[in-house]
Structure 1
Amino acid sequence: MFAAERRQLILEMVRANGAVSLRELARVVQTSEVTVRRDVRALEAEGLLDRRHGGAVLPGGFTRESGFPQKSHLATAEKTAIADLAAGFVEEGEAIVVGAGTTTQELARRLARVPGLTVVTNSLLVAQALAHANRVEVVMTGGTLRGSNYALVGSGAEQSLQGLRVSRAFLSGSGLTAERGLSTSNMLSASVDRALVQAAGEVVVLADHTKLGSDTMFQTVPTDVITRLVTDEPPGHDDRAATELQALADQGVQIAVAGGPGAVQGPGQLGAESAADRRGPRRDVPLPGQRRNHPPGAGGSAPQLRPAGTLSEAPGSRVADLAPRRR
């Protein structure tokens, strides 16, 4: 395929999907990521698209939201690995909330095997994935159906979550930055996600590396409210993604990396987290914009690493707490 043909195909994919990873572009045009990166750089110079960490987006600063058919074919291998790892943080008998998204749908398919689980969701896709799980109770919110992502939104969904309390919330989104946290392109979806956060003791964000550094219109979860990020291993050449991960860790977010032997490497100490470490007392999540409360005597110091251990639930993956360099 000639360079002009490749670039035309790349441009058509970005226009159709809003955002596409370099890995996906390389797979479709059947060339290396190095070549695709050179093509994306040339298209950016012409003002036809913008580069982002590990991918390309429509020009204009904020990515628009893709529909479900487009999202379901993006970063599929990464979403599968993230879902496999995230499922290891869910225990028997828990009550959790799961937001809408293709990555959370993958998570729901794995949660069908967890006995005694109660899942509250506004996603028809999540509910469908759990519909035949005999040992899992599914609670749907009310609301108005938003067809582009098969989610229930609006005041009905938000009101049905009032007074709810669960152990964890699992959310995805369109973009994630250390400065602004998790964001999405739709106001109604963002409002429901904020209501899901208020119901949970911990917030776990599922985001593949292509979303790191991307910022979209509506903030859903501020960085200081995110307990843990589950992501995939960024490509070795993507220094900006690694920098973003370290910046998130500096703000107290625990980083869980799914993938091969090369987990995210930061200047601080890396340690695996054991399953026992995860079964701590439930912590209240502050309102958006508020900081987490540190334990008595901690003052304003950075959080300490937990003891090293093993995570048997996700063989071949690694859970890492990146030590904050500064606060």
Structure 2
Amino acid sequence: MFAAERRQLILEMVRANGAVSLRELARVVQTSEVTVRRDVRALEAEGLLDRRHGGAVLPGGFTRESGFPQKSHLATAEKTAIADLAAGFVAEGEAIVVGAGTTTQELARRLARVPGLTVVTNSLLVAQALAHANRVEVVMTGGTLRGSNYALVGSGAEQSLQGLRVSKAFLSGSGLTAERGLSTSNMLSASVDRALVQAAAEVVVLADHTKLGTDTMFQTVPTDLITRLVTDEPLAHDDRAGTELQALADQGVQIAVAGASGGGSGPKGPGGGPTAADPVTGGRQRRDVPLPGPRRQAPGAGTGMRTTALNEQNPGAERARVADLRRR
């Protein structure tokens, strides 16, 4: 494929989806990420798109929201890895809320195996994924159906969440920055997500690397309310993503990176399975960026998972881990 053909295809993908990762672009145009990065720079110089951490977005600073069909085909491997990892933070018998999104839908499919779980959601896709889970109780909010993402929104959804209290909220969004936190492109969705946050003791954000550093119109979760971020491994040459993750960690966000160990097996429990203290799912191992300060609830509380503060036990090793993440 000639360079002009590649760049036209890249431009069409960004226009259709709003935001596309370099990995996905390289796969579609069947070339290396280095070549795609060069093409994206050329298109940015012409004002046709904007570069973001590990991807490209529509020009203008704020990305528009893609519909479900487009989102479901973006960063599918990354979403699977994130969902595998995030499921390890849910314990038997917990009550949680799960917001709308393609990543949270992937998470829901894995939660079907958690006995005694109660899931409150405004997402038809999340409810559908759990519909046949005999040991999981699903509670849906009221509200008006928003067809583009199969979510219930509006005053009915928000009112049904009043007085609710659960252990964790699992949310996704359109963008995540250390400055503004999690954001989305739709006002109604943002309002319901804020109500979900108010119902939870801890907030877990699921965001793949393409959303890091992307800012969209409506803030849903400010950074100081995010307990944990579950994301995928940043691209090798994406220094800005590492910087963004460090900035989030500096503000007290616990960061778990799917695939951070390069597919290592991790500690094993009885029978060769993963231990509860350091879960390994889908051949991926959890790595946590240390939590510098106190959160609304201690990370890992109620899950049997162990986290270490930056200034505890082995500060030199912890600083090395943070530096390694920045290099990645």
TM-score, normalised to structure 1, is 0.84
* Residue 307 (structure 2) pairs with residue 322 (structure 1): no
The answer to whether the 8 Å contact 2:280/2:286 transfers is: no
1:74 corresponds to: 74
- Whole-Å separation in 1 of the counterparts to 2:280 and 2:114: 12
Deviations along 1:122-157, one digit per CA (max 9) or x if unpaired, are 000000000000000000000000000000000000
Please give the alpha-carbon distance, in whole angstroms, between the structure 2 residues aligned to 1:199 and 1:102.
Answer: 22
Please state if 1:156 is matched with 2:156.
Answer: yes
Does residue 1:214 correspond to 2:214, yes or no? yes
Say if 1:120 and 1:139, in contact at 8 Å, map to a contact too: yes
- The answer to whether the 8 A contact 1:231-1:257 is kept is yes
Partner of 2:295: none
How far, CA to CA, are the matches of 1:75 and 1:137 in structure 2?
29
**Who is 2:117 aligned against?**
117
Shift of 1:227: 0.1
What is residue 126 of structure 1 aligned with on the other side? Answer: 126
Q: Secondary structure at the match of 1:170?
A: strand
Q: Kindly state the Cα deviation for residue 318 of structure 1 after the two structures are TM-superposed.
A: 1.9
Alignment match, 1:225? 225
1:240 aligns to what SS in structure 2?
A: helix
Unpaired runs of 5+ residues, structure 1, are 264-271, 273-308
Residues 262 and 284 of structure 2 are in contact (CA less than 8 Å); yes or no, is this contact kept in structure 1? no
Q: What does 1:127-276 correspond to in 2, within 5 Å?
A: 127-261=127-261
Contact 1:249 1:255 in 2 (8 A): yes
| Structure 1 residue aligned with 2:299 | none
SS at match of 2:107: helix
Identity across aligned pairs (percent)?
Answer: 90
By how many angstroms is 1:7 displaced?
0.2
> What is the one-letter code of the residue matched to 2:57?
V
For the residues of structure 2 that align with 1:261 and 1:192, how far apart are their CA atoms? 35
Structure 2 alignment gaps of length 5 or more: 267-275, 293-309, 312-328
Q: Which amino acid aligns with 1:2?
A: F
Distance 1:112 1:313 in 2: 18
- Residues 86 and 230 of structure 1 are in contact (CA less than 8 Å); yes or no, is this contact kept in structure 2? yes
The alignment yields a C-alpha RMSD, in angstroms, of: 1.8
| 1:31 partner letter | T
Question: How far apart are the structure 2 equivalents of 1:181 and 1:32?
Answer: 32
Equivalences for residues 38-49 of structure 1 within 5 A: 38-49=38-49
Q: CA deviation at 1:321?
A: 2.7
Q: Work out whether residues 85 and 280 of structure 2, in 8 Å CA contact, stay in contact via their aligned partners in 1.
A: yes
Q: Partners in 1 of 2:164 and 2:158 — Cα distance?
A: 11
CA contact (8 A) 1:246 1:322 kept: no
Q: Is the 8 A contact 1:104 1:171 kept in 2?
A: yes
CA distance in 1, matches of 2:116, 2:285: 26
**Mapping for residues 10-25 of structure 1, pairs under 5 Å:** 10-25=10-25
Report the AA paired with residue 85 of structure 1: L
State the alpha-carbon separation in 2 of the partners of residues 216 and 79 from structure 1: 20
Mapped partners of 2:289, 2:55: distance in 1: 26
SS at match of 2:287: strand
- Matched AA of 1:160: S
Letter of the structure 2 residue corresponding to residue 316 of structure 1? R
Of residues 262, 271, 278 in structure 2, which corresponds to 1:311? 278
| Number of residues of Structure 1 aligned to a counterpart in Structure 2 | 284
Does the CA contact (< 8 Å) of 1:186 and 1:217 recur in 2?
yes
TM-score, length of structure 2 as denominator length:
0.84
2-side partners of 1:230 and 1:70: how far apart?
A: 22
1:5 corresponds to = 5
Give every structure 1 segment of 4 or more consecutive aligned residues whose post-TM-superposition deviation is greater than 2 Å.
260-263, 312-316, 321-326
